[in-house]
Amino acid sequence: MKALKRRTGQVLFALAVLALLIYTIFPFYIAILTSLQGGEGSFYLLQDFDFSNYVSVFREQPFFLNILNSALVSFGTVAISLLIAVTASYALARVHFRGRTTLLLTVLGVSMFPQVAVLSGMFELVRLLGLYNNLGSLVLSYTVFSLPFSVWILTTFMRGIPKDLEEAAIVDGATPWQIITRIFMPVLWPALVTTGLLAFIGAWNEFMFAITFILSNEQRTVPVAISMISGGSQYEMPWGPIMAASVIVTVPLILLVLVFQRKIVEGLTAGAVKG
Amino acid sequence: MSSIEFVKLEKVYKGLSDFCAVKGVDLQINEGEFVVFVGPSGCGKSTLLRMIAGLEDISGGELYFGDRCVNDLSPKERGIGMVFQSYALYPHMSVFDNMAFGLTLEKGSRETIKEKVEEVARILQIDHLLDRKPKALSGGQRQRVAIGRAIVRQPNVFLFDEPLSNLDASLRVQMRIEITKLHQRLKTTSIYVTHDQVEAMTMADKIVVLNQGRIMQVGSPLQIYNEPANTFVAGFMGSPTMNFIDVEAMDEQLSLRTGQANRRFLMPFRHSGPATLGIRPEHIELQPQADAIPVETRISVVEHLGNETLLYLATDLCEQPLVVAVSGEMAPEIGSELTIYLPLERSHLFDAQGDAVKRQGSASVN
C-alpha cells in the first residue's frame, strides 16, 4: 500500500515535470522546426532538414551586417554601463555624502518608467545630439535603461565587501581607481557578469528604440531586421525565414549564458564576499 | 622607524548630536616601543589607532611621527603597516600577490619584490604557502600573511587592530609569542589594540588604558597592575577583578562603613573622607595577619579553575560578593562560614573621585 502510494507520487511528479518542460520548450521547438522546413510540412513533426530559410535570411537582407550592428550596440552598452555602474556604485556604497539614499532611490524610481513614456523625450535627445539613424543612439538609450538596475545590484554587492578590505588597500597605497580595478572588480566578478549579461540581453533583444531611432537597413539591429522580413505578398507571413533568423540570433545568447552560467548563479545567490 | 607624539588629539563624529570618540589625548611613544592600547569596547582605542593609520580624519590636535606632523598625510605617506582584525586579505590574490600588492603599486622591480616577499615569508614560516589563495589557509596562516603584508614594506610604524581575536585560544597564545619575537627582531615602533588584558600584560612595553575617549593611565604592565591610577584601571586590569569596599578614611585611619564600624585600622595612606578600598582577589589571606582587616563571610559560589579556586563571599561590607583566589586543592563547602583577612599593605585606596591615594609607610592594626 505504501509502495503504491509512493509510486503514484512519483508518476504524478514526473507528469508535472513533463508538463512544465513542454510548456517552456514548445515555442522554441516550433521555432526551430519551422525554420528547418522548406515548404508546407507538418506543423508538429520534423520531416526534412532544409536550410534554405537560413540561406534566404542572409540573401534577402544585409542580415550579417544587422548581427554585427546588434553585437556592436550590445557590447558597447555593456561596456559603458558597467564602467559607469561600477564607479557610481563605488560612490553610492562607499563614499558618504549628503543625499546618498535619495539618489539611490531616484535611480530606482527612474527605472520604473516604461519605455514608451521616455520615447519622445529620448527621440529629442537623440536628434539634439545628432545621433539619429546612428548606432550611438541605441547605445545611449540602452545604457540609460540598463544603468539603474546595474547600479542598484552592484551597490548592494559593493556594500557586502568588508570595509577592512578597502582599508587594507588604502594602507597599501592604492588610489580609489586602483581599489576599484585591482580589488573590487575581481571580487565583484560574478556580480559584474550577471549585470553585464542582463544588460547584454536587454540590448540584444530591444525593439522599440531600435525601430524608432534607426532608419536605414544597413544600420538596423537584429530584432528590427527580423520584423522587416517580408513574404511574397502583403498577406503572407514568411514564418520560415523569420524563425531561421530568430534561431540564429538566439544562439549567441544561449552560448553566453552557458559559458557564464556558473558565474550567474554565483552572482544571483552569493550575497556577501567572504575573505 | 619613528617615535610618535600625540598632542591633544581629538575625534568628533559630526551628526545630529556630535559624538566625541577621542577627547584630547596626549601621549608620547618612543622609537621601537611596543605599546598596547587596552580598554572596554567603545573606549576609542580603535578610533585612535585608525587616526594614527590615517584611515580616520583628525578633528583636533596634532599627531607627530618623529618631528613631522602627519595630520594631513595619507596612510602610505605616513609609512604605516596595519594588521586588521578580519585579516582583510585580498580573496582573489595568492599569498604572494597579497604580500606584494603594496610593493607592486610602488612600481618596484620584479626581482626586488620577489626577494622581499620571500624573505618575509621565510621569517613568518609561510614560504611554502605563497601560491595558495587565502581561502585555502587556516586562521593562523591567514594571520601570518596579514602580518607579512604589513612587514614587507618596512613601515615606520606597525599597527595591530585586535589581530588575535578571531583565533582560538591556543593559537592566540602562540601568535602572541610570535608577534613579541618579531618585534624583538624588527624593533619597529608598534601599536597594538586589544580588549584582552592578558595580551596587554604579556606583550606591552607600555600599556595605555583608555576609557570613554580618555587616557586613564600609561605605564609598564607591572606599574599598571601594582599601582593603578584610579578605580577604572584597577577594575579593568587583573582577572578576576579587584574587590572594592566603601570605607571612611580619617587621616591615617580607616573604618568600615558597616559591621565593625567602630573599629579603626591604621592604613598606609593619608586621606580623609569617603573612599574606596581596593584589594585584588589573589592578595586576600585566609590566615590571620598583622596589618589586615578580618572579615566574616559566607561562601556563596565556588569556581574550580584547577590551578586555583575562586570563592565568591557574601559579606555585609558591600553588595557585590568579595572574590578570593585560593589554591586549587582547597574544596570549601558552599554556605559555610569563612573569615578572611584583607592585608592593608597590599591594598589600594581611591578617593571619592576614584583617583588613587598615594601610599606611604607601613601600617598596623589598631
Contacts of A167 in chain B (CB under 8 A): 55, 82, 84, 88
Candidate from B74, B75, B88 with C-beta closest to A165? B88
B76 with A178: Cβ contact below 8 A: no
B75 with A183: Cβ contact below 8 A: no
Question: Thinking of the domain A62-224+259-272, which architecture would CATH place it in?
Answer: Orthogonal Bundle (1.10)
The structural domains of chain A, with segments of one domain joined by +, span 62-224+259-272
Tens of pLDDT, residues B147-194? 999 999 889 899 999 988 888 888 889 889 989 999 999 899 999 999
Which residues of B fall below an 8 Å CB-CB distance to A?
A: 53, 55, 74-76, 80-82, 84-93, 101-102, 105-106, 134-135, 142, 149-150, 153
Q: What is the mean pLDDT of residues B104-114?
A: 88
Cell of B18: 556630535
Spatial distance between the Cα atoms of B143 and A56, rounded to a whole number of angstroms: 65
Q: Is the ipTM, as predicted for this complex, more than 0.90?
A: no
Mean pLDDT, chain B, whole residue set: 88
Candidate from B75, B106, B142 with C-beta closest to A170? B75
Contacts of B100 in chain A (CB under 8 A): none
Query: Is A274 a residue whose pLDDT tops 60?
Result: no
Cβ density class A78-90: b for 16+ within 10 Å, e for less: bebbbeebbebbb
pLDDT at position B242, please?
93
Residue B148, classed as helix, strand or coil, is helix
Nearest chain A alpha carbon to B54: A171
Peptide bond into B240 cis (omega under 30): yes
Spatial distance between the Cα atoms of B11 and B33, rounded to a whole number of angstroms: 24
Query: Is B35 a residue whose pLDDT tops 90?
Result: yes
Residue A63, classed as helix, strand or coil, is helix
For residue A168, give how far its alpha carbon lies from the nearest alpha carbon of chain B (Å).
6
B84 with A167: Cβ contact below 8 A: yes
Cell of B142: 591567514
Tens of pLDDT, residues A120-164? 989 999 999 998 988 999 999 999 889 998 999 899 888 888 888
Neighbours of B217 (CB within 10 A): 21
Are the beta carbons of B60 and B9 closer than 8 angstroms? yes
pLDDT at position B118, please?
92
DSSP A273: P
Residue B121: phi and psi, rounded to 5, are -60, -35
Are the beta carbons of B38 and B194 closer than 8 angstroms? yes
Nearest chain B alpha carbon to A166: B88
Q: What is the mean pLDDT of residues B194-217?
A: 92
Which of A157, A163, A166, A172 is the mutation pick for testing B, counting most B CBs within 10 A? A172
Q: How many contacts (CB atoms, under 8 Å) link A and B?
A: 68
Give the per-residue SS3 of A87-150: HHHHHHHHCCCCCHHHHHHHHHHHCCCCHHHHHHHHHHHHHHCCCCCCHHHHHHHHHHHHHHHH
Q: What is the mean pLDDT of residues B28-36?
A: 92
**β B206-211/B60-65 pair status:** unpaired
Contacts of A168 in chain B (CB under 8 A): 82, 84, 88-90, 149
Which of A171, A178, A184 is the mutation pick for testing B, counting most B CBs within 10 A? A171
Residue with cell 553585464: A196
In order, the DSSP letters of B173-223 are: HHHHHHHHHHHHHH--EEEEEES-HHHHHHH-SEEEEEETTEEEEEE-HHH
Contacts of A169 in chain B (CB under 8 A): 90, 101
For residue A175, give how far its alpha carbon lies from the nearest alpha carbon of chain B (Å).
9
B86 with A162: Cβ contact below 8 A: yes
Cell of A80: 559603458
DSSP B16: S
Spatial distance between the Cα atoms of B31 and A151, rounded to a whole number of angstroms: 48
A272 touches B: beta carbon within 8 Å = no
For residue B46, give how far its alpha carbon lies from the nearest alpha carbon of chain A (Å).
13
Tens of pLDDT, residues A27-57? 888 888 888 876 655 566 666 777 888 888 8
Q: What angle, 0 to 180 degrees and rounded to 10, lies between the N-to-C axes of helices A2-35 and A239-269?
A: 130
Query: Is A267 a residue whose pLDDT tops 70?
Result: no
For residue A71, give how far its alpha carbon lies from the nearest alpha carbon of chain B (Å).
30
Tens of pLDDT, residues B234-254? 999 988 899 999 888 888 888
pLDDT at position A272, please?
36
B82 with A274: Cβ contact below 8 A: no
- Among B246, B249, B301, smallest CA distance to B277 is for B246
Nearest chain B alpha carbon to A171: B75
Contacts of A173 in chain B (CB under 8 A): 74-76, 102, 105-106
Candidate from B88, B142, B150 with C-beta closest to A162? B88
**Least confident piece of the model among A39-48, A85-94, B263-272, B292-301:** A39-48
In order, the DSSP letters of B249-281 are: EETTEEEESSSSTT-EEE-SB---EEEEEEE-G
Mean pLDDT, chain A, whole residue set: 86
Nearest chain B alpha carbon to A189: B92
- Among B147, B134, B45, B136, smallest CA distance to B93 is for B134
pLDDT at position A138, please?
93
Looking from the CA of B29 toward its CB, the CA atoms found within 13 Å total 33
A162 touches B: beta carbon within 8 Å = yes
Confidence of residue B139 (pLDDT cuts 50, 70, 90): confident
A273 with B76: Cβ contact below 8 A: no
pLDDT at position A228, please?
85
- Can you say whether the dihedral through the CA atoms of B215, B218, B224, B230 is positive or negative? negative
Query: Is B358 a residue whose pLDDT tops 60?
Result: yes
Q: Which of residues 168-187 of A touch B (CB under 8 A)?
A: 168-174, 178, 182-183, 186-187
A165 touches B: beta carbon within 8 Å = yes
Tens of pLDDT, residues B48-82? 999 999 998 888 888 888 888 898 999 988 989 99
pLDDT at position A42, please?
56
Contacts of A26 (CB under 8 A, 6+ apart): none
Contacts of A274 in chain B (CB under 8 A): 91, 135
A45 touches B: beta carbon within 8 Å = no
pLDDT at position B60, please?
85
Cell of A113: 518608467
DSSP A172: T
- The predicted model scores a pTM of 0.79
B76 with A173: Cβ contact below 8 A: yes
Tens of pLDDT, residues A245-256? 888 888 878 888
B92 with A187: Cβ contact below 8 A: yes
Sheet of strand B308-314: strand arrangement: B322-327, B308-314, B292-304, B337-343
Spatial distance between the Cα atoms of A21 and A246, rounded to a whole number of angstroms: 21
Residue B304, classed as helix, strand or coil, is strand
pLDDT at position A86, please?
93
Q: What is the mean pLDDT of residues B347-359?
A: 90
Confidence of residue A268 (pLDDT cuts 50, 70, 90): low
pLDDT at position B224, please?
93
Spatial distance between the Cα atoms of B190 and B205, rounded to a whole number of angstroms: 10
Q: What is the mean pLDDT of residues A166-179?
A: 91
Which of B14, B70, B86 is the mutation pick for testing A, counting most A CBs within 10 A? B86
Which of B46, B57, B92, B132 is the mutation pick for testing A, counting most A CBs within 10 A? B92
Candidate from B81, B90, B149 with C-beta closest to A165? B90
Tens of pLDDT, residues A211-242? 999 888 888 999 998 888 877 677 777 888 88
